[in-house]
Structures are given as structure tokens and as C-alpha cells.
Chains A and B, each alone.
Chain A
Amino acid sequence: MHRSITAAVGAVVIALPVANAAAAAKKKVITSTKTVTGPQAVADRWGYIQITLVVKKTTTIVGKHKKVTRKITNVGVPVYPNHTDRSVFINEQALPYLTQEVLQAQFNPNISMISGATATSFAFEQSLQAAILQAEKV
């Protein structure tokens, strides 16, 4: 749908110099936003992970010159390995020696090394790569 709108505007611009030469120098900015989705990548035996990117496309037209820029404005993870029952029953009474908190993400910790491994992050990168390639075509 965004594609057809852009095409219609382009046609108007081509017609402009004929109708009104003065208007040709005017700057016109068209923005559109599109969401692209990477494939569901396998996160090892756990399930699938999928990345969506929201791409803002800005078309700047000055006279006959058209400049297109694309910017990723949001990243989403609509599918991630979480296929299990959220209601896993755990008897809190039986676990007096555990502390409980909610999973959080720290992006800039001051650390030297990481314990863990990579299959989910590998799948994340795969889907992200594919989504970026699609974003370039928006």
C-alpha cells in the first residue's frame, strides 16, 4: 500500500515542471512507516524466534532530485521460545531457600566474561539479518 502511494506522488512530481516551473524547486518530504518481519529462526530445540523491524522511510524531493532514507525505529520479538505453560506450578512453601525476581536485561554491564551459550542469540541474529535485508527493500 505504501508503495502505491509513493508511486502516485512520483507521478505528480514528474508532471509539475510542465504545469508550474516555480513549484519544481519546492522541497517535498514524504514519510511512510512499514513493518518488516524476519523468518522464524530455530532457537535450538526450544522453539522459534522471530524479529520485526519498523522502518521509517523518508523521501525528500527537491525539483527532480529524490532522496530516500530508511531508519529502523523499533525492533520487536513477536515470537520467542516460550511455548511452555506459563502456569508451571511451583509450591512456594516447599522452597524456603530461594529468592525470586523477574527476568531483566542489562545491556551495558561492566563485566569481563559471560557464562552461557549461544543458540538463541544465534537464531536472533539470523532473523535480524533477514529482516534488515528486507528493510533495505522497503
Chain B
Amino acid sequence: MVRVEHVMGMPVVVEARDGDVPDEVFDWLRRVDETFSTYKDGSEISRLRRGELDEADASDDVRWVLRRCRELRDETAGYFDIDAVGLDPSGYVKGWAVERAAAILDRAGSSDYAINAGGDVRTRGRWRIGIQHPFESQAVAKVVEGDDLAIATSGAYERGEHVRDPHTGAAPAGILSVTVTGPDLATADAYATAAYAMGPRRAIDWTARLRGYEALTILADGRVLATPGFPSVD
């Protein structure tokens, strides 16, 4: 069964090869949007931004997410920074929400599914996932195959998001996209965002040193650099 819905400002595709996709999955994602959206005035994040709510009084989920985001800021030398322009944890929330949606499918008994939320992909079972080619809309640059994958890509061609170097405020140059795969989708997304913001030289060096996560970086000069464990086909 395949279900597609527009949630959290993006199309979310959930495909289960071994059964139904329960309503609970999309109910959860809509609830996340109500809580974390920076576009909804009544969301906890909007209230935090306006100073109407103290972080200490926020819900458990919000406090947990914000704490994890700050850990990631330290892990990424400040390149993943949710406080750079107001408070905006969206870059983490997407992957986190998808991981929790995956847990709902696990509990419903599915063991062969894939979830794609605006380019962040989580799979259970064996799947083949393409990595978007930076120039050719109908092509992929690489194919990844594996069991239980979490794959996130940050790049020059993302719509709506504005990845900038939080240190300089400048858009990165020389790098087209960074794809990160590993055990946790939200962490993979934060790493991809951070590496992309670093620009080519630093990104390559930094991704080569990641532990437990693999990366594939596409540079503007056409070079594709991958960590040896990156699960690409061929």
C-alpha cells in the first residue's frame, strides 16, 4: 500500500510492501506540524520564538528535540545551528518525525516499508533508493541499496530551505549536495545540512571522519566523493 499526503509543508510518501499504512502514521506527522511548525502561530515553537513560552515549560517532545539539536550544534562545530536565525528546529524535526512514524509502522507489524518526507528517506527491509542528480531532474546520481536505511540529502537544489553557513551567513560555494546515511535519520539530516554549509574543503574532511555514518558529496567540479562504507550500488 502506498499513501501520499502533504504534511509539514512537503509531500510525504509511505509505502508498505507487506500491508496497510495506518492512519496513525499521518495523524502523528500532522501533530508534529501543529507542535513544531514555524509557520503556525499557535505552535509551541512559534510561542517560544515570541517569548510567550519558556523552554522549561514546553512539552517533553519539544524539550527533547531542542536538547538534541544543541548537541548536534556542538558535534558539527556550530554548522548545524537551530538558533542562527531565530529558533528553527525544522531541519531536525523532519527526520525525527519520520523515525517516530517508522516506529508506528514497526508496531503495526510492518517489516518492509519506506517513508520519504521531502527527500529524507527511512526504510525497513531491503530497498533501492536513488540520490537526486543535481542538474538532471529526471536522473539520479547514484543508487543506494541496503537494509534498514536512513538517507538524508542537503543540497543546492533544495526548495524552501536556505542552508547557510551560520558563521558567515553566506550560502556555500563549490558543493552541490551532501548525502548522509546511518542509523538515525534526523542525525543524518543534521550532518548533511552541516556538511553542506561547511563548503567543499571542510565538508570533505569532516565527513571522512564521521563515526557510524557514511557520506557522499557532489562537488561543483563534477567530482563525487564517498566514504568507503557508503552503501551505493556499483
Encoded as 1 (CB less than 8 Å from any A CB) or 0, chain B from 162 to 180 comes to 1000000001011011010
**Count the A-B residue pairs with Cβ separation under 8 angstroms: how many?**
189
**A95–B143 touching, CB < 8 Å:** no
**A102–B228 touching, CB < 8 Å:** no
Closest to B217 in A: A98
**A111–B156 touching, CB < 8 Å:** no
Q: Does A135 contact B (CB under 8 A)?
A: no
Q: Does A15 contact B (CB under 8 A)?
A: no
Q: A46-B171, A86-B220, A98-B226 are in contact. List 10 more A-B contacts (CB 8 A).
A: A77-B135, A90-B200, A99-B230, A102-B222, A106-B133, A107-B136, A114-B132, A116-B130, A116-B179, A117-B155
**A44–B156 touching, CB < 8 Å:** yes
Closest to B127 in A: A112
**A114–B131 touching, CB < 8 Å:** yes
If the complex has contacts A82-B220, A88-B201, A111-B130, are A97 and B114 also in contact, measured as CB distance less than 8 A?
no
**B155–A116 touching, CB < 8 Å:** yes
Closest to A120 in B: B157
Residue among A88, A102, A119 with most chain B CB within 10 A: A88
**B137–A121 touching, CB < 8 Å:** yes
Residues of A within 8 A of B142 (CB): 106
A46-97 with Cβ < 8 A to chain B: 46, 49, 77, 80-90, 94-95, 97
A66 to B134 alpha-carbon distance, docked (Å): 43
- Stretch from B77-85, B103-111, B118-126 forming part of the interface with A: B118-126
Chain A nearest CB: distance from B186 CB in Å?
Answer: 14
Residues of B within 8 A of A116 (CB): 119, 130-132, 153, 155, 157, 177, 179
Closest to A45 in B: B171
**B208–A98 touching, CB < 8 Å:** yes
**A45–B162 touching, CB < 8 Å:** yes
Listed in ascending order, the chain B residues whose CB lies under 8 Å from chain A are 13, 15, 114, 116, 118-121, 123, 127-144, 151-153, 155-162, 171, 173-174, 176-177, 179, 200-201, 204-205, 207-209, 218-228, 230
Closest to A49 in B: B135
A114 to B155 alpha-carbon distance, docked (Å): 14
If the complex has contacts A98-B226, A109-B128, A117-B132, are A46 and B156 also in contact, measured as CB distance less than 8 A?
yes
Which single member of A44, A80, A101 contacts B159 (CB below 8 Å)? A44
Chain B nearest CB: distance from A68 CB in Å?
Answer: 29
Chain B nearest CB: distance from A115 CB in Å?
Answer: 4
**A97–B208 touching, CB < 8 Å:** yes
Residues of B within 8 A of A114 (CB): 116, 119, 121, 129-132, 140
Which single member of B118, B159, B221 contacts A122 (CB below 8 Å)? B159
